[in-house]
Amino acid sequence: MISIANASPLITSINEAFWAHEECDDLRIEITLENSSSVKPEGFSLTASRLGTAITATIGVQVDHAYRYALNALATWIKSGQTAISSNEAPDFAIRGVVEGFYGKPWSHEQRLRALKHCGDYNMNTYFLAPKDIPWQRFNWRSPFDAAFLATTEELIQQGHKNAMELAVCVSPGLSVKYSDDADIDAVVNRYRQLFDLGARHFGLLWDDIAWELQHEEDIARYVSTAAAHADFTNRVWAKLVALDPHVVLTLCPMHYSGRGNEPYLQELGQQLHARVNIMWTGRSIISEYLDISDAVIFERTTLRPALYWDNFPVNDGGLQKNLYIGPVRGREVGLQKYSSGLVSNPMLQFEMSQIPLFTIGHYLWNTAAYDPDQSWENALVYLIPNEVDRIALRKFLRTSMGTAVGGDPAPDLRQVFRKGVTQWRQGNLIEAGDIFIAAGNEIIANHAYLLEKEFSKPLMISEITKWLEKYLIGGEVLVGLGQVLKGCTFNSDKGCITGTPADQSALEALNEQLLEHRKNLFGDQIEGPINELIAELGS
């Protein structure tokens, strides 16, 4: 039983939605709410105690939606079994969340509803809806949203509010826009007004991935540059938006969205753009291995505002679709929030798998100094896969694709296997080396079979990674084959090297081909690298 005193309608809604997903039927939880000026705007204070099955909690917030983050902390404490808690927390980054901005098949409506709940659990607050390959986003943007779109979007907006998430629907007019045309301004604003009437207060205007040159004679005559056109068009949209509500938020993605942050386009755009409009930036590269304060300072000095990071991790669209980026976020500097207005992550096409890195991103955005990528990743698995046996099995697979565009060992457990196996073969212990690889391969083969059992508790996860599981099985078979070849070779103690027959070389080459002909990426180069080395050694 859950009771709450002094709650606003929004807090009541947040409270009901949250506890509907928590297992607390055997508990009696009494929550008293306080309006606390001593906490930061999105922060909370929490004191609670437990006596048997009775829990008494006092939560202090300044803004209603911060109550959601306090509930996250309260639920975590309840599961810990501790008897008391006293906490005062606030997020580091102001804007924290997701930008569904990838090319390819967008997430479904049902997945977006679940994403908003997940993101609330991750202490995020913003979801940019900006799928590239949907007609309403970039192609027929002049048309008002139809009734079906508005109905599903209203459901998303309401689901967002129940989870302290703001849905920001984006418009991308750059493929065909005439910047000087008031009718195109009105077309964008009309869409925003439709969303505003549904409860939206954050809006996105995206100029990414379009032609650099002005296309229309009227625009060429009016503007000295594309940057000037973007600033003018956005400012005119902004003026009409703030007439609806002075507290609305507008975020712009510029045409030049990566680099050093001091490019002439960004300088001109920043100088002319209204100071309250956010500018997105991906960092030094489109997919940045690191985001650091020194680059953020350059961007802020150039554009006259802190960057709102569009972080292209763990996205795997386009030519990256052969990869799964399921490791924790790394390479984002402690303290970056002091030089940024926020960070939103562009996830993978695979919704279920994206939740693992998104969980870790939420941890980083809430408290950069306390963020531990490896511990956060382990916590993500506990959150997403409650069944311990299934979690252990899936973890073994996941740790064959831990390397990401932002760093990390691709297959840390397999690296240890090769360290042991290669050490043995260098010492001439070929039987022992072979047994190490055969055991590792058989473990993968058995684990692959377990993951495909009908009783596995996370079938949606398995359905997303079917092709990678094929590669996983091949990897196991190749390790067994490698071990068998090693056990058939001999060690030449005089030369200090392994010797074998042409048939051994051919067998190893066939194993490598078997691994490489499958197009999905797993294991990094940790299998084919040593095999190629062994082939060369046998050939010598």
Torsion of CA 17, 389, 358, 36, to 10 degrees: 40
Backbone angles phi, psi at 366, to 5 degrees: -75, -40
Same domain, 101 and 47: no
CB–CB of 55/78 below 8 Å? yes
Q: Is 355 helix (H, G, I), strand (E, B) or coil?
A: helix
Same domain, 243 and 350: yes
Same domain, 42 and 64: yes
Domain termination residue (choose one: 45, 74, 89): 89
In a domain, 389, yes or no: no
Any residues with CB less than 8 A from the CB of 21 and at least 6 apart, and which?
117
In a domain, 263, yes or no: yes
314 preceded by a cis bond (ω within 30 of 0): yes
In a domain, 160, yes or no: yes
CB–CB of 528/512 below 8 Å? yes
In a domain, 406, yes or no: no
Same domain, 41 and 173: no
Same domain, 212 and 316: yes
> Residue 288's CB: how many other CB atoms inside 10 A?
21
- Buried b or exposed e, range 440-477, using 16+ CB within 10 angstroms: bbeebbebbebbeeeebebeebbebbeebbebbbbbbb
Same domain, 83 and 99: no
In a domain, 465, yes or no: yes
Is the dihedral angle over the CA atoms 217, 220, 221, 227 positive or is it negative?
A: positive
In a domain, 286, yes or no: yes
Domain termination residue (choose one: 26, 54, 89): 89
> What is the bridge-based pairing of β-strands 307-311 and 340-345?
parallel
Q: In whole angstroms, give the CA distance from residue 256 to residue 520.
A: 31
pLDDT for res 6 = 79
> What is the bridge-based pairing of β-strands 54-61 and 95-100?
unpaired
Same domain, 56 and 150: no
Paired residues of 204 in beta bridges = 170, 251
In a domain, 394, yes or no: no
Is the dihedral angle over the CA atoms 447, 451, 457, 460 positive or is it negative?
A: positive
CB–CB of 88/43 below 8 Å? yes
Average pLDDT across each block of 10 residues of the chain; the chain has 540 residues. List them in order: 87 94 86 87 95 93 96 94 94 98 95 98 98 86 96 98 97 94 97 97 94 92 97 98 97 96 97 98 96 98 98 94 95 97 97 98 98 97 97 97 76 94 92 97 98 97 97 97 94 84 93 94 91 86
Which tokens is 498 given? Answer: 């392994």
Backbone angles phi, psi at 476, to 5 degrees: -65, -45
Which tokens is 238 given? Answer: 């902004």
Closest CA to 166 of 65, 278, 46: 65
Across 207-260, the runs of DSSP E, i.e. the strands, are: 249-253
| 298, containing H or E segment | helix 293-303
Same domain, 83 and 106: no
Same domain, 290 and 176: yes
- CATH number for the domain spanning 81: value is 3.30.160.230
Same domain, 235 and 146: yes
Same domain, 102 and 67: no
Same domain, 378 and 443: no
Q: In whole angstroms, give the CA distance from residue 392 to residue 385.
A: 9
Q: In whole angstroms, give the CA distance from residue 3 to residue 26.
A: 14
- Report CA-CA distances (Å) from 510 to 24, 76, 157, 441, 464: 56, 51, 54, 16, 29
- CATH number for the domain spanning 300: value is 3.20.20.80
In a domain, 442, yes or no: yes
Backbone angles phi, psi at 430, to 5 degrees: -75, -35
CB–CB of 270/302 below 8 Å? yes
Domain termination residue (choose one: 41, 58, 89): 89
Backbone angles phi, psi at 158, to 5 degrees: -70, -40
Which tokens is 287 given? Answer: 């997919």
Which tokens is 99 given? Answer: 């930008």
Count how many domains the chain has: 3
pLDDT for res 329 = 96
pLDDT for res 404 = 65
pTM equals: 0.95
| Residues spanned by the domain of 289 | 95-384
